[in-house]
């Protein structure tokens, strides 16, 4: 498996082609730069000698039997591919090739249902359920990204639940926050990725993902759900009835606040949010999102180096190296609360 590879190893194995790009060297020679995947992780690879048919053989989404050498390059392991052979689709065992969340699907689904049922506001509970239903089941299995963090089966759900775990703790420390709004925001903030991304197998951006992005897609899903639930009935009132004290105002306000969280959860415009967080709850959701993504990125980076050494430069972390202290656990427990811990936290 990829996680067991070391510098100098000769590699014979079956891998999923997660990505493949044709490049040209400074001398005008074609080569392939690839990302290979199995259930333990991903690894960058190069095939310097490109033969006829290689682009088709190593296309994204294909499974290939590969002979290669493992070597360190800029403190990161990389494979130098010598050859590859086509694999009979009937012989592919996808469980050996697709990465999955560190918690079981059944446990995570139970956690999700427990969090939804803990929402006190009936309109917010209905909105969260409606939005998740609109994903047609994808929310439960989709990856959380193409690469960098949570890029595995159930990654979107795992990321959302870990954020929810942190959200309820933050709300305990800062009771001025509206727990329902923060919790709901963490659960559905990335729902647009069910449209933006193609799925768990060799995940790529869809046409909508390339041109619209998950932030605007998620906003549209929430707005559509809110309208279907009648949360915009306030707009149909006579002008003299439209006051902040009208009971329908609170429903519309809640819908707009959730739409605002969808648009602002990346925190800054340079990170893709068209608007900055303008409520306490939207600010904390964006901060929790950033924390969870960065912790996952560092967990991955630390897994590739020994204690006392530093990681390779991490692009998404301002091109910084990170030192791995000797106290870092080699096999950390999964992020977030277990189901029992979560149920206790909700009860308390």
Determine the pLDDT at residue 276.
97
The reported pLDDT for the residue numbered 101 is 82
Share the mean pLDDT of the chain.
Answer: 90
**The pLDDT of residue 229:** 97
End-to-end, the C-alpha distance of the chain in Å comes to: 42
Tens-digit pLDDT profile for residues 100-117? 788 888 999 999 999 999
Q: What is the pLDDT of residue 26?
A: 81
- Among candidates 170, 166, 155, 143, which has minimal Cα distance to 108? 155
**CA gap 38, 218 in Å, rounded:** 30
Q: Could you report the per-residue pLDDT of 41-52, keeping only the tens digit for each?
A: 888 999 888 888
The pLDDT score that the predictor gives to residue 294 is 92
- 70 - beta bridge partners? 79
Q: What is the per-residue pLDDT for 220?
A: 97
Q: What is the pLDDT of residue 312?
A: 86
pLDDT at residue 316, as a whole number: 84
The pLDDT of residue 129 is: 97
The model's pTM: 0.82
Residue 288: what pLDDT? 97
Instruction: Using 50 as the pLDDT threshold, list the residues of the chain that sit under it.
Output: none
Residue 19: predicted pLDDT: 86
What CA–CA distance (Å, rounded) separates 306 from 43?
17
d(CA 218, CA 226): 12
The b/e string for 231-240 (b: 16+ C-beta within 10 A; e otherwise) is bbebeeeeee
């Amino acid at each position: 498996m990829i996680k067991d590879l070391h510098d100098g190893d000769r590699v014979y194995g079956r891998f999923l082609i997660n990505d493949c790009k044709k490049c040209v060297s400074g001398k005008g020679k074609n080569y392939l730069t690839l990302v290979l995947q199995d259930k333990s992780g991903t690894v960058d690879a190069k095939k310097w000698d490109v033969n006829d048919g290689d682009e088709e053989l190593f296309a994204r989404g294909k499974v290939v039997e590969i002979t290669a050498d493992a070597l360190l390059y800029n403190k990161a392991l990389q494979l130098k591919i010598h050859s590859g052979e086509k694999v009979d689709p009937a012989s592919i065992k996808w469980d050996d090739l697709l990465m999955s969340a560190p918690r079981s699907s059944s446990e995570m689904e139970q956690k999700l249902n427990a969090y939804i049922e803990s929402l006190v506001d009936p309109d917010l509970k209905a909105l969260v359920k409606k939005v998740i239903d609109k994903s047609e089941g994808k929310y439960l299995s989709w990856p959380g990204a193409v690469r960098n963090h949570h890029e595995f089966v159930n990654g979107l759900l795992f990321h959302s639940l870990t954020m929810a775990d942190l959200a309820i703790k933050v709300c305990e420390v800062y009771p001025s926050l509206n727990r329902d709004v923060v919790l709901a925001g963490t659960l559905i903030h990335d729902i647009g990725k069910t449209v933006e991304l193609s799925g768990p197998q060799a995940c790529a951006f869809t046409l909508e993902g390339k041109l619209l992005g998950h932030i605007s897609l998620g906003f549209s899903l929430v707005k559509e759900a809110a309208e279907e639930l009648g949360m915009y009935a306030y707009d149909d009132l006579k002008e003299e009835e439209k006051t902040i004290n009208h009971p329908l105002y609170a429903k519309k306000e809640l819908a707009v606040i959730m739409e605002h969280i969808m648009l602002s959860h990346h925190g800054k415009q340079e990170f893709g949010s068209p608007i900055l967080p303008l409520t306490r709850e939207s600010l904390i959701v964006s901060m929790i999102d950033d924390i969870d993504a960065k912790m996952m990125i560092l967990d991955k980076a630390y897994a590739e180096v020994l204690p006392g050494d530093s990681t390779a430069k991490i692009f998404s972390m301002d091109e910084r190296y990170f030192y791995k202290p000797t106290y870092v656990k080699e096999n950390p427990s999964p992020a977030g609360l277990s189901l029992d811990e979560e149920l206790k936290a909700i009860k308390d």
